Amino acid sequence: MKKIKLFIIESIHKYVFLEFIYRLYLQIFFPKKISHVFKPRFSGWGMATSNYVPWDINKNIFFKEFIRVDEELSSLVKTNNFALSQFQYMFPNKNTFTFLNDLRWRHYIVYTSVSLAIKKTINENVNLVECGVCDGLTIYYALKSIIFQKRKYNAYLYDAWTGMDNSILSDSEKRFEDEYNFLELKKTKENLSIFTGDSIYFNKGFIPESFAKYKKPEKINWLHIDLNSFKATINTLDHFWPEIEDGGVVLFDDYALIGYEDTKKAIDEWINEKVGELTFFQYPTGQAIIIKVI
């Protein structure tokens, strides 16, 4: 019986015609179910879910704060106080706010991974590192998360802000050649000028060469890697891993994204060698997280 049921479900999803008939059947006999099955509450960035999402109306203080931060970013973008040049240059035909909505789960994970890192580590001042900063979109959520926890921080931001280093790209990454050459450090600084009072260090240059130029923090609570390059990703892991605090978090943006298989393979090999030192898991968004455990 179970096998027959599975066969029917698989066939429905395989053939458009059968799916249409199934929709019609649900529409007539189970109109409530149709919204659950075919109209997900959230879809974007390669995932969809029919379950409740953190930004549904609710009374949970953490969710509410994330929603407030997310809406604040949208209004900064609307009033030209935060420029998302990445979207404008790379996807000129797509609406910026549609993009931001699609990325909500991703940003929610950035935001919550920082509070996880703060709670799991013991140092009072929080040190964040981001490699692959671009306009400053993801670090915006990370810094807002620290502010919500009422903690002081230092943020060490690494990016070339001049385009990709084509010489280190694998064959499948060659499509990124000459991307990001529209970036200007000045504009990222302007975007992040809303964060006053704490320290943000802008470490411009190509990874890994730039690592020799800038002193790294002695203790790191949270490291975000979003470089579109498997070599630079591994260089970053090798460089900062010894300074990651016990309980500290490494968040990967590109772990399981379609088209980023070289990055996934390299990270898998890297974590297999360190298996006793960490906990690892993947999110449905394609992001993944390491928690350092000694």
Ligand X SMILES: C[S@@+](CC[C@H](N)C(=O)[O-])C[C@H]1O[C@@H](n2cnc3c(N)ncnc32)[C@H](O)[C@@H]1O
Q: Please, which residue, 183 or 200, has the CB nearer to ligand X? A: 183
Bond from prior residue into 284 cis (ω within 30 degrees of 0): no
Q: Please, which residue, 75 or 166, has the CB nearer to ligand X? A: 166
Q: Please, which residue, 73 or 290, has the CB nearer to ligand X? A: 73
CA distances, 218 to each of 21, 126, 207, 221, 286 (Å): 61, 11, 19, 10, 30
Of 11-19, 43-51, 73-81, 226-234, the window that binds ligand X (rule: CB under 6 A) is 226-234
Among 180, 202, 230, 260, binds ligand X (CB under 6 A): 180
CA distances, 155 to each of 50, 84, 140 (Å): 36, 20, 11
Residue 165 C-beta: closest distance to ligand X, Å:
4
Binding footprint of ligand X, residue count (CB under 6 A): 19
DSSP 216: P
Of 52-60, 119-127, 159-167, 286-294, the window that binds ligand X (rule: CB under 6 A) is 159-167
Q: Please, which residue, 181 or 279, has the CB nearer to ligand X? A: 181
Residue 205 C-beta: closest distance to ligand X, Å:
7
Query: In the chain, which ranges are E strands?
Result: 42-44, 47-49, 126-131, 153-159, 199-204, 220-225, 244-252, 278-282, 288-292
Q: State the burial class of residue 142 (Cβ atoms within 10 Å of its Cβ: 0-12, 13-18, 19+).
A: buried
Q: Decide if residue 228 touches ligand X (CB under 6 A).
A: yes
Q: Decide if residue 226 touches ligand X (CB under 6 A).
A: yes
Report 106-135 residues binding ligand X (CB under 6 A). 132-135
Write the DSSP assignment of 42-95 as a string of letters. EEETTEEE-S--TTSS---HHHHHHHHHHHHHHHHHHTTSS--HHHHHH-TTS-
Tell me the residue length of the chain: 294
Of 22-30, 35-43, 50-58, 157-165, the window that binds ligand X (rule: CB under 6 A) is 157-165
Q: Decide if residue 183 touches ligand X (CB under 6 A).
A: yes
Q: Decide if residue 206 touches ligand X (CB under 6 A).
A: yes
Q: How many Cβ atoms from other residues are within 10 Å of residue 47's Cβ?
A: 15
Of 17-25, 50-58, 119-127, 227-235, the window that binds ligand X (rule: CB under 6 A) is 227-235
Contacting positions for ligand X (CB under 6 A): 132-135, 137-138, 159-160, 164-165, 180, 183, 206-207, 226-229, 232
